[in-house]
Amino acid sequence: MSRLRALLLAGLLTPAIAGAAEKGYPLQSANADVSNLASLQRGARNFVNYCLGCHSAKYMRYSQLAADLALTEDELQQNLMFTGERIYDTMDTAMPAEKARAWFGNAPPDLSLIVRSRGSDYVYTFLRSFYADPSRPTGVNNAVLPGTAMPHVLAGLQGLQQGRQEKTTGEDGKVSEHLVLAPGTPGELPAAAYDSFVRDTVAFLEYVAEPHKAKRLSLGVWVILFLLMFTAFSWFLYKEYWKDVK
């Protein structure tokens, strides 16, 4: 009985939690495509060069990465393995957890399941929403996750955004919030190129969270077609059996 009450309570609280999440900084659509092999390859490069120094993806092995992303062992070692890893090792960070806690207050989380946990739109918007905040130890804050201890490791690519949110009301009456680049602090990439960079990174993290997602979605189409054909066949067979029964 107590378990039933707990389930009912969880069901009642779920809409409230979802509503509370929607009141935060508005999320932008990632539009990540895990079936795009070139995007996943670029995302793997981005993750290794900018994320793996602090964050691990300990549920992904380099060997599986090579097989799924159509990389040879030589390509893998030349482009994605820089600290003496072996082909069957997992993607662990070289940062000691003790030092990470001393530097950031806590060890950076493993990102293997971050997209399954938070959603691709959340991760995409988070990586685009750092802004200058001199009151923070790292000099930046994040509109999606206020008070984050993570520094803006992509500031050289994006540039530094101002610590204010502009609100504009469109014809539909909705209010949108966005950050703008601070004057004199451009990044190496134009805005569209930076968005593509982040989108590729999110696509890779989405792949890491569920390596067989693209195959599952592709197989799902054939399963649905089979079920439709089977339903049609069953219907005609039913009509044939019962045509003489009135």
What confidence tens digit (pLDDT) does each residue in 103-135 have? 777 888 999 999 999 999 999 999 999 999 999
pLDDT at residue 195 is higher than 60 = yes
What pLDDT does residue 176 have? 61
* Closest CA relative to residue 66, chosen from 93, 37, 46: 37
Does the predicted TM-score (pTM) go above 0.85? no
For domain 24-210, the CATH class is mainly alpha
Which residues does 1 contact at the CB level (< 8 Å), separation at least 6? none
Q: What is the mean pLDDT of the segment spanning 154-163? A: 91
pLDDT at 219: 76
Q: Distance (Å, rounded) from C-alpha 61 to C-alpha 212?
A: 14
Taking the CA of residue 123 as centre, how many other CA atoms within 13 Å lie in the half-sphere pointing to its CB?
24
**pLDDT class for 232, splitting at 50, 70, 90?**
confident
Domain ranges for the chain: 24-210, 212-241
Q: For residue range 28-70, what is the model confidence (pLDDT) as tens digits?
A: 999 999 999 999 999 999 999 999 988 999 999 999 999 999 9
Distance of CA 112 to CAs 63, 132, 140, 205, 223, Å? 16, 28, 25, 7, 28
Give the percent of the chain with pLDDT over 90.
Answer: 48
**Contact call for residues 122 and 131 (beta carbons, < 8 A):** no
